[in-house]
Chains A and B, each alone.
Chain A
Amino acid sequence: MVHALELVHSLLSPGAVLVDIHPTGQPSAIEISLGGVRHQLGEMQEVDDFIEYFQADEALVQVMQSGLFTRTRREEFIFLDHAASLEELRSYLLENWSDAVWPDEVTRRANEISPPGQSTEIPATLVEYVSISRLQQLSPHLDESPSR
């Protein structure tokens, strides 16, 4: 990851900007909405992707420490994946998110709080927690003081 950031640095004009977007590593929540009330059914489990998110954070710190970039801003935001049904969300995640494990508790909780026989037909949402950083490329050419 540090190598990738070094490559990005070399592709940018002096003083240009890098914006990095990646998940925070906080488990994504699975929710359904019943009668206007949101119910969290559980959290998506990941085998090891969350480790990569922390490694990404660490790589950003390393390239800042090495003087390639300086971070000028960082925030977190929520990214929502909406599905027409809980079953559709489950299928989508298992197909597109190879590291994801659908927790059994989600189906159980959905059955508990939904009208009989409708638990898999209720629209569902995955709540992802995402970090965004703005880094400015530091160019040695810009930072050097004129020789005297």
Chain B
Amino acid sequence: MFKNITIGQYIARESTVHELDPRMKIIITLILIVGLFLIGSFWGFLFMAAYIMFLIYFSRLSLPLLVRGLKPVIFIILFTLFIHILFTRGGEVLLEWRFIRVEEGGLFTGLFMATRIALLILFTSLLTLTTSPIQLTDGLETLMSPLKVVKFPAHELAMMMTIALRFIPTLLEEAEKILKAQKARGADFESGNLLRRAQNLIPLLVPLFLSAFRRADDLAAALEARCYRGGVGRTRMKELVLKRSDWLALVISLLVVVGVILI
């Protein structure tokens, strides 16, 4: 039942995009996303699409793989498209049949929004596909570290993220076991109205919750036994270093974004 969830989605390859510094990849993704929101025409989207093809080529991933990532959100994309087609008004009437009325403005806005969502998702999945969760949290920790000056707990947050990522598969496995055990005892997870169904999940959630708390207790004991005392004075096996290729990637992405906004 849970086998189809690809956690972390990270796919290890030896490629230019994989080897970029995680900090730079996060910054570049942010810039590209801001760009997507400032684009005013379909030409801009076309160039962005071309740019993502270029990035996919250099990350040695396949296009079908990324497109498959769109599957879980296809419903939302289509929903957005249809809502706009049916309810947004403006321009010429393209189709009129009984109470259904499609106008040019609606079709245009619908396609525009749908393209934007699809591109947003493609850029974000490219980041998670080419950067391992550990690299991502490392990158986030260093990006947040200037905030340590104002006593922002950058290390603690990164540590929590690493722990969270480590325990997702464990808890999912546990959830599957509890689900089976409770079903064997006659628990019903599939019938009733929405509120009833939500409440029926309690026999699954409470044991899962308690087991997570127990694990946290053990983990804390294990950390302390190994003399963990926070980020102060901790060294790393792999230090992050910005290379020339990182700066080059930043400059190219900036140029692309400025270009598509000016179109």
- Does B associate with A? no
A residues within 8 Å of B by Cβ? none
